[in-house]
Chains A and B, each alone.
Chain A
């Protein structure tokens, strides 16, 4: 299947000074939910804006469905829609807001009405109650849902969501995420979402892309930032409580931040014998997430106040013995800690 997006050597900078995106290779699948994870300032929003053609990039190649995008931005924007973190409604009624994009596409008036009502219902806004409301008569969560309805009404091929639940109430957050899942599963829309709702993301997404300082990073789920010190031939980072993590020291190490891919971490229920260059970190399970896209379970454990994640195959008998507060040992070689 042709990837939805292909990025090669794509660079984007802020005012030509600070590099905000520096992606050598990235493919994004054309179905299901793709998650973007990474700390604040890692470039998630910038990448979404580039993918929605709201922000130009400085250099590199961006292919959309296998074709170059240069000169086709306006046409592609008709298939790709983007929901801002803090959505904005035009100063008109909810109905007019949701119908706006449809009218631009010269949709038949009768169809406009049907699609507006359908979209509002999908985000949990009763059309009879909300359609006639003015933009200033909505709560923050309702604004976000109305804005999402305006995107869903367009029946987009690609829906880009930038922290859609960051500033909304819990009920709205659930409705927004449910609508995103429905859009992906029932309408075949490719949904690309940046969110801090990790359990939801790991459970619902088919693929997760980690970003750190504008670069695609394997293991962005576990970022070990700051506190690294050289010791002998290694770099060492201490956790509160006295546990330490070792990483190999290289010529290029920055000593500032390192990533640990959860797939490189093995989980044990009893402390194994210390052998060679292997870290053993003891912690307590705080969260278990079924990763439907990977057929695995993501185990989050509290290790000396920091949360580390490990991935266990779904069929592994170990999964049946894991539960919150269970003591576990995360085992990973020094070499799996990669410098960023």
Chain B
């Protein structure tokens, strides 16, 4: 079992000496995550608000579809997006395959249903007096929506953190759409998969430590938000 202990020693060495390859993987992961999260929130929040706030024919069916998408396997997403953005695909001319942007498409499909479903649930659960209060104070339209979302902010932040946790630890679609290209589209999870396969535990464990730290940070944030919500 010495190789595991050695792996940890090497991992901290790579981290504290700011090893170039490790840093590039880390930066690529952060770029991909930031881009994906921006798109996920831009799409998921309005979708979730509309699902939770309005009543329209087919709403239940749409909610069921959104809930089903929560459990979509990442490799299936990778496969579908691959089919669209590969040379032969509908979006082939955009040359998105094996780029960070291409990988972001998969992650957006993965994360948007999470934000939408949680937001819808949060908005549905808002106090029914909120709308009347806002209207009677003079709010309408976009302001009404923005304040309603703000009132549900702790639940929505939980949704965002859950989506972040899902995409940051995702490997299936990132591997298929990014190709795990060194210095280019290699992320923490795809690198761990590769390095473990090669028997290079040091880099794998170093990246694993970073991933665990991110997970820890998310959990601490969630606990903090839960306490705020209980207030």
Contacts and interface: CB of A to CB of B under 8 A. Distances in A.
B138 A88 contact: no
13 contacts: A74-B140, A83-B136, A86-B129, A87-B133, A88-B132, A88-B133, A90-B130, A101-B137, A101-B138, A104-B143, A136-B231, A147-B133, A151-B137
B170 interface: no
A154 B135 CA distance: 13
Contacts, number: 50
B113 to A, nearest CB: 26
A104 B151 contact: no
A54 interface: yes
Contacts of B137: 81, 100-101, 104, 150-151, 154
Contact of A104 (B127, B130, B132, B138): B138
Contacts of A49: 132
Interface string B143-173: 1000100010000000000000000000000
Interface in A30-53: 49, 52-53
Given A90-B151, A136-B231, A77 B135 contact: yes
Interface in A310-326: none
Given A74-B140, A88-B129, A104-B139, 19 more contacts: A53-B135, A54-B135, A54-B136, A77-B135, A77-B138, A77-B140, A82-B136, A84-B129, A87-B129, A88-B127, A88-B133, A90-B133, A100-B137, A104-B143, A105-B138, A147-B133, A150-B137, A151-B137, A154-B138
Contacts of B132: 49, 54, 82, 84, 88
Interface residues of A, number: 26
Interface string A75-103: 00110011110111011000000001100
A81 B143 contact: no
Interface of B: 127, 129-130, 132-133, 135-140, 143, 147, 151, 231
Contacts of A88: 127, 129-130, 132-133
Q: 6 closest Cβ contacts across the A-B interface?
A: A88-B129, A101-B137, A82-B136, A104-B138, A88-B133, A101-B138
B139 A81 contact: no
A227 to B, nearest CB: 37
B53 to A, nearest CB: 16
Determine which residue in B132, B143, B151 has the highest number of CB atoms from chain A within 10 A of its CB, and name it: B132
B138 A78 contact: yes
Contacts of A77: 135-136, 138, 140
Contacts of A78: 138
A52 B136 contact: yes
Contacts of A100: 137
